[in-house]
């Protein structure tokens, strides 16, 4: 049976956390192994080390009078209690160089074992058994105030084993608790550090997500990012520069082509009007249609570039009134009335007045072309947005996503146009940070286009 290979997590935070926690656990495992080795040492070896430390403690606690005579041994309170309560397991005796006893621990079997031990100037370990208690003994000498003293200490093997076992358990429990707390706080530290390190990367990602054909001039800042990511960010910025250049060349070509076509079309129309040929009206109609399409292409190229806008304070009510007045004759030719419902007060906007005029003109013109003779188009403006409503059949659900698609015309459409008017409106709305939408009107049935000004416009 084959097992799928483990996959390394793609998240940089998870990778950092995994490696760090793994390293921490490995270090703790080594420490735990060392503790286990120490706990497995023979009790006799541990007892020897412990006897040596007792002699050192007694040596440090010796107290002398003004004449230099040893009068007491001062020990920590817990050590004194141990000697008092565990007379079978621990004892000490301090003698002068001639073997005369000067100070001892309280009487008990352990002290008796020390008193039976023969004196020897050389330091040595020995053992004894009293009342079935095995004792380890140490006899050694120390020098204090120019005098030599013989010090004897005893400790039972069962006490050493008990301390090692219980101390080991306590140390193990404390180690496990410390390990859990250490891993917990270490994980918090790693998460905080990774979030702090990756915050510039998230900011750069947000900037990259907002890059669109209308703001290709934006670039990612690599100064706050880790140096390892700098080549990637530089490559991304270089790609943006190439895209910006290509997009600008395309827009300039579209604008130039549309501009260059205007003059030949005007000359062709003039020649057709001069020449008295049959079918002249149809030729003029075709030329006018081509001229309209070229004009709309030029508009589309202009409104697709944010740098072509001049944002300034303007009164939207005045612009809307001018656009409605401009289209009054078109409405008359189609037998459609345009009802303008002006706001009670000016509507100040930070916008390009010429672009707003084109937006309103295209929406009203589109509404006129889809309104039957004898009906009316309603144009309403307030502080929140513009609403252009026309009666007639509702928009088919399948056609709604295509309304603002370039060169798209509804099925069965009979009006002249290239299908660019609504696309131009959408470009203008997006450049200003507005929202353009279309919906159905229930009573009376019809269609309403709305431009919402609530979204923040360019500063």
CB 34 within 8 A of CB 204: no
pLDDT at residue 387 greater than cutoff 90: yes
Structure confidence at residue 43 (pLDDT): 46
The pLDDT tens digits for 294-306 are 665 665 666 666 6
The pLDDT tens digits for 216-229 are 677 777 777 767 77
On average, the pLDDT of the chain sits at 76
In the chain, pLDDT over 90 holds for what percent of residues?
Answer: 10
Q: Per CATH, is 309-452 categorized as 1.10.10.10?
A: no
Task: Indicate the pTM of the whole model.
Answer: 0.46
- 456 falls in which pLDDT band (50, 70, 90)? very low
Question: Does an H or E element contain 197, and which?
Answer: helix 157-209
Pick 88 or 161 by higher pLDDT.
Answer: 88
Structure confidence at residue 405 (pLDDT): 74
The pLDDT tens digits for 233-272 are 788 888 777 777 766 666 665 555 555 566 666 666 666 6
Structure confidence at residue 459 (pLDDT): 39
pLDDT at residue 423 greater than cutoff 60: yes
Which has the minimum average pLDDT: 43-52, 94-103, 147-156, 400-409? 43-52
Give the span between the Cα atoms of 51 and 82, in whole angstroms: 14
CB 67 within 8 A of CB 55: no
Q: Is 340 helix (H, G, I), strand (E, B) or coil?
A: strand
Pick 432 or 285 by higher pLDDT.
Answer: 432
- Range with top average pLDDT, 118-127, 171-180, 281-290, 371-380: 371-380
Give the tokens for residue 247: 């997009």
The pLDDT tens digits for 36-63 are 665 554 544 445 667 888 888 888 989 9
From 86, 153, 142, select the one nearest 117 (Cα to Cα).
153
CB 349 within 8 A of CB 316: yes
Give the contacts of 277 (CB within 8 A, at least 6 positions apart): 283
Q: Terminal CA-to-CA distance of the chain, rounded, Å?
A: 64
CATH number of 43-164: 3.30.450.140
Q: Is 142 helix (H, G, I), strand (E, B) or coil?
A: strand
Q: Where are the alpha helices (DSSP H) in 221-229?
A: none
Structure confidence at residue 321 (pLDDT): 92
Structure confidence at residue 354 (pLDDT): 84
Q: Is 5 helix (H, G, I), strand (E, B) or coil?
A: coil
The pLDDT tens digits for 68-120 are 888 898 988 888 888 888 888 889 999 888 888 889 999 988 888 888 887 77
- 458 falls in which pLDDT band (50, 70, 90)? very low
pLDDT at residue 326 greater than cutoff 50: yes
Structure confidence at residue 317 (pLDDT): 92
Domain boundaries, the chain: 43-164, 230-303, 309-452
- Rounded to the nearest 10°, the torsion over CA 139, 143, 144, 145 is 150
Architecture of domain 230-303 in this structure: Orthogonal Bundle (1.10)
pLDDT at residue 8 greater than cutoff 60: no
Pick 225 or 370 by higher pLDDT.
Answer: 370
- Range with top average pLDDT, 126-140, 193-207, 442-456: 126-140
From 438, 301, 285, select the one nearest 358 (Cα to Cα).
301
Structure confidence at residue 451 (pLDDT): 92
Q: Looking at residues 431-455, what average pLDDT do you find?
A: 83
Q: Would you say the C-alpha torsion 422, 425, 430, 434 has a positive or negative sign? A: negative
Q: Same CATH topology for 43-164 and 309-452? A: no
Structure confidence at residue 117 (pLDDT): 83
Give the contacts of 382 (CB within 8 A, at least 6 positions apart): 343, 347
Give the span between the Cα atoms of 94 and 138, in whole angstroms: 12
pLDDT at residue 457 greater than cutoff 50: no
Structure confidence at residue 267 (pLDDT): 64
Q: Looking at residues 355-365, what average pLDDT do you find?
A: 89
Pick 406 or 422 by higher pLDDT.
Answer: 422
444 prior amide bond cis, ω within 30:
yes
Q: Where are the alpha helices (DSSP H) in 275-315?
A: 280-303
pLDDT at residue 437 greater than cutoff 70: yes
Strand stretches in 1-111, DSSP E: 62-64, 70-73, 90-96, 101-104
């Amino acid at each position: 049976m084959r097992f799928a290979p483990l996959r390394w997590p793609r998240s940089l935070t998870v990778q950092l956390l995994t490696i760090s926690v793994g390293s921490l656990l490995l270090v703790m495992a080594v420490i735990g192994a060392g503790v286990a080795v120490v706990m497995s040492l023979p009790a006799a070896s541990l007892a020897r080390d412990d006897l040596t430390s007792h002699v050192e403690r007694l040596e440090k606690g010796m107290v002398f009078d003004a004449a230099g005579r040893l009068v007491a041994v001062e020990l920590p309170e817990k050590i004194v209690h141990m000697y008092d309560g565990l007379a079978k397991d621990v004892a000490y005796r301090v003698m002068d160089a001639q073997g005369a006893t000067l100070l001892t621990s309280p009487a008990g079997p352990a002290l008796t074992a020390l008193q039976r031990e023969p004196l020897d100037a050389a330091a040595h370990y020995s053992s004894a058994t009293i009342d079935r208690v095995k004792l380890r003994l140490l006899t050694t000498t120390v020098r204090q105030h120019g005098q030599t003293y013989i010090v004897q200490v005893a400790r039972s093997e069962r006490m050493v084993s008990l301390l090692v076992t219980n101390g080991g358990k306590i140390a193990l429990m404390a180690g496990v608790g410390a390990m859990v707390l250490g891993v917990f706080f270490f994980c918090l530290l790693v998460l905080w550090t990774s979030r702090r390190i990756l915050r510039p990367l998230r900011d750069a990602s947000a900037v990259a997500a907002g890059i669109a054909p209308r703001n290709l001039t934006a670039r990612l800042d690599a100064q706050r990012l880790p140096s390892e990511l700098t080549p990637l960010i530089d490559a991304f910025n270089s790609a943006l520069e190439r895209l910006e250049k290509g997009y600008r060349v395309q827009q300039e070509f579209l604008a130039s082509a549309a501009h260059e076509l205007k003059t030949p079309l005007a000359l062709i129309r003039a020649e057709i009007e001069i020449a008295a040929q049959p079918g002249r009206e149809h030729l003029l109609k075709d030329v006018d249609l081509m001229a309209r399409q070229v004009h709309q292409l030029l508009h589309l190229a202009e409104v697709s570039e944010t740098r072509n806008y001049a944002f300034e304070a303007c009164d939207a009510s005045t612009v809307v009134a001018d656009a409605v007045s401009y289209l009054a004759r078109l409405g008359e030719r189609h037998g459609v009335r345009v009802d303008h419902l002006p706001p009670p007060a000016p509507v100040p906007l930070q916008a390009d007045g010429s672009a707003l005029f084109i937006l309103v003109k295209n929406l009203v013109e589109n509404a006129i072309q889809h309104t039957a003779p004898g009906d009316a188009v309603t144009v309403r403006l307030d502080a929140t947005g513009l609403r252009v409503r026309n009666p007639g059949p509702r928009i088919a659900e399948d056609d709604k996503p295509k309304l603002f698609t370039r060169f798209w015309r509804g099925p069965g459409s009979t009006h002249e146009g290239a299908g660019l008017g609504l696309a131009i409106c959408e470009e203008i709305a997006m450049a200003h940070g507005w929202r353009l939408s279309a919906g159905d009107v229930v009573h009376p049935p019809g269609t309403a286009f709305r431009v919402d000004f609530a979204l923040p416009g360019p500063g």
